């Protein structure tokens, strides 16, 4: 190759999806993990642990079951890492495995895990401090989430909490994009009404 | 928090923050990571996904295989029946449409002139 070639013109700025840099890094970590790098897999688990636990909890409702499902998801991903296509974002691929693990666990349990609404919260009792207020709001939100279908819960959490696009959520949940939009719409309507009532109170 | 935002194409930060707080799992992520990594070697050594997932994956093929076996078994069983059973069945069908006496059902339905109702009823109701 001649040494005096003119420098290449800079690439025009291209729109980068959110988390683009993280995606490349995740793909690199996956490549290292496939080769047996335990630390690389550990970094992946560390990076996606919170997200996977939230998604599993959105599906299952119960935090302990959610952690079991999230763990199953990570370990399933470990043995499937060689099947991951590095040209695609890693997050949706992993969250699909986690969501499937949670859904399978839910089917096996055959027990509705909706957290019953604490009667003391319904009456809007005293709110001594900010932490108690947040805790009470969290309890109300969890109760409201418990009234939604698992798919609706997962859709709104993946969209509004984790920031995935409708198309990515469709891939994760295995449903058409239009279905995801509908699920997010209905979940938001229910949850926003709750938040509005809370703020108005 | 209004209806116009419900079809937004962007995440709602207020709702997102509230949900993130509500779904905050007990215990820190480090403990969870350690728990997952504790099974790293065993999972790779097994070289397979957890048992429940294997079972779930094979549930549908298993049901399909069971149905196919049932159909094949039924076919084989039917073929292994003594020939007398099949001929008895066909004889019964023939006997049902060809009465022991009289013009017969086929002749009645293909005749140009309408038959007498009493003949039709007799040929259909009369025991063979």
- Domain ranges in chain A are 19-111, 118-201
Instruction: Say yes or no: A74 contacts chain B, CB-CB below 8 A.
Output: yes
Instruction: Say yes or no: B51 contacts chain A, CB-CB below 8 A.
Output: no
Nearest-Cα distance to chain A for B68, in Å, is 26
Model pLDDT, residue B92? 59
Longest dimension (CA), chain A: 79
Q: Which residue in A has a C-alpha nearest to residue B39's C-alpha?
A: A75
Model pLDDT, residue B9? 78
Model pLDDT, residue B83? 66
Model pLDDT, residue B52? 64
Taking the complete model, does pTM exceed 0.90, yes or no?
no
A112 burial via Cβ count (<10 Å: 0-12, 13-18, 19+): exposed
Nearest-Cα distance to chain A for B63, in Å, is 17
- B121: which DSSP letter? H
Interchain CB distance below 8 Å, B18 and A141: yes
- What residues in B contact A118, CB-CB < 8 Å? none
Question: Can you tell me the distance from the alpha carbon of A60 to that of A175, in angstroms, rounded to the nearest whole number?
Answer: 18
* Alpha-helical runs (H) found in chain A: 20-34, 38-60, 63-80, 90-109, 119-122, 130-147, 150-156, 166-173, 177-200
Q: List C-alpha distances in Å: B32 to A38, A113, A144.
A: 16, 22, 26
pLDDT in tens, B20-63: 888 888 788 899 999 999 999 999 888 755 556 666 777 888 88
Is B106 a residue whose pLDDT tops 50?
Answer: yes
- What residues in A contact B28, CB-CB < 8 Å? none
Model pLDDT, residue A113? 46
Best mutation target among B18, B47, B60 (most A Cβ atoms within 10 Å) is B18
Q: Are B22 and A137 in contact (CB under 8 A)?
A: yes
Best mutation target among B10, B23, B49 (most A Cβ atoms within 10 Å) is B23
User: What integer best gives the mean pLDDT of chain B?
Assistant: 73
Is B104 a residue whose pLDDT tops 70?
Answer: no
Q: Are A126 and A150 in contact (CB under 8 A)?
A: no
Nearest residue to B36 via CA among A12, A174, A18, A77: A77
Nearest-Cα distance to chain A for B40, in Å, is 7
> Which residue did the predictor score with more confidence, A144 or A3?
A144
Q: How many CB pairs under 8 A join A and B?
A: 127
CATH topology of domain A118-201: Arc Repressor Mutant, subunit A (1.10.10)
Model pLDDT, residue A7? 47
Question: ipTM higher than 0.85?
Answer: no
**Is the CA virtual torsion B20, B26, B27, B32 positive or negative?**
negative
Interchain CB distance below 8 Å, A38 and B33: no
Interchain CB distance below 8 Å, A75 and B29: no
In CATH terms, A19-111 corresponds, of 3.40.190.10, 1.10.1740.10, 3.30.470.20, 1.10.3720.10, to 1.10.1740.10
Interchain CB distance below 8 Å, A79 and B48: yes
- What residues in A contact B20, CB-CB < 8 Å? 54, 161
Question: Can you tell me the distance from the alpha carbon of A127 to that of A33, in angstroms, rounded to the nearest whole number?
Answer: 48
Give CA angle at A114 (A112, A116), nearest 5°: 125
Interchain CB distance below 8 Å, B33 and A108: no
Question: Can you tell me the distance from the alpha carbon of A59 to that of A53, in angstroms, rounded to the nearest whole number?
Answer: 10
């Amino acid at each position: 190759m001649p040494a005096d070639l003119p420098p290449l013109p800079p690439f025009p700025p291209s729109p980068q999806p959110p988390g683009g840099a993280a995606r490349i890094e995740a793909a690199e970590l996956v490549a290292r993990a496939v080769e047996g790098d335990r630390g690389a897999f550990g970094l992946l688990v560390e990076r996606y642990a919170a997200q996977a636990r939230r998604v599993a909890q959105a599906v299952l409702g119960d935090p302990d079951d959610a952690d079991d499902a999230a763990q199953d998801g990570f370990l399933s991903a470990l043995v499937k890492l060689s099947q991951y296509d590095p040209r695609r974002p890693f997050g949706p691929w992993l969250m699909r495995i986690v969501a499937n693990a949670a859904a399978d666990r839910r089917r096996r349990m055959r027990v509705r895990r909706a957290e019953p609404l604490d009667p003391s919260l319904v009456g809007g009792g005293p709110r001594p401090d900010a932490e108690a207020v947040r805790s009470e709001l969290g309890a109300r939100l969890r109760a409201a989430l418990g009234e939604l279908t698992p798919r609706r819960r997962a859709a709104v959490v993946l969209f509004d909490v984790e920031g995935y696009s409708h198309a990515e959520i469709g891939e994760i949940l295995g449903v058409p994009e239009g279905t995801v939009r509908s699920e997010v719409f209905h979940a938001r309507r229910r949850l926003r009404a709750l938040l509005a009532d809370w703020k108005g109170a | 928090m209004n209806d116009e935002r419900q079809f937004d194409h962007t995440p709602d930060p207020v709702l997102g923050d509230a949900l993130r707080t509500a779904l905050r799992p007990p215990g820190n992520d480090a403990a969870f990571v350690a728990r997952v990594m504790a099974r790293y070697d065993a999972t790779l050594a097994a070289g397979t996904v957890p048992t429940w997932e294997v079972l779930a994956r094979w549930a549908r093929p298993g049901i399909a295989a069971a149905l196919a076996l049932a159909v094949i078994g039924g076919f084989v069983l039917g073929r292994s029946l003594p020939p007398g059973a099949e001929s008895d069945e066909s004889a019964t069908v023939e006997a049902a449409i060809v009465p022991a006496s009289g013009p017969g059902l086929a002749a009645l339905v293909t005749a140009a002139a309408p038959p007498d109702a009493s003949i039709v009823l007799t040929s259909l109701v009369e025991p063979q």
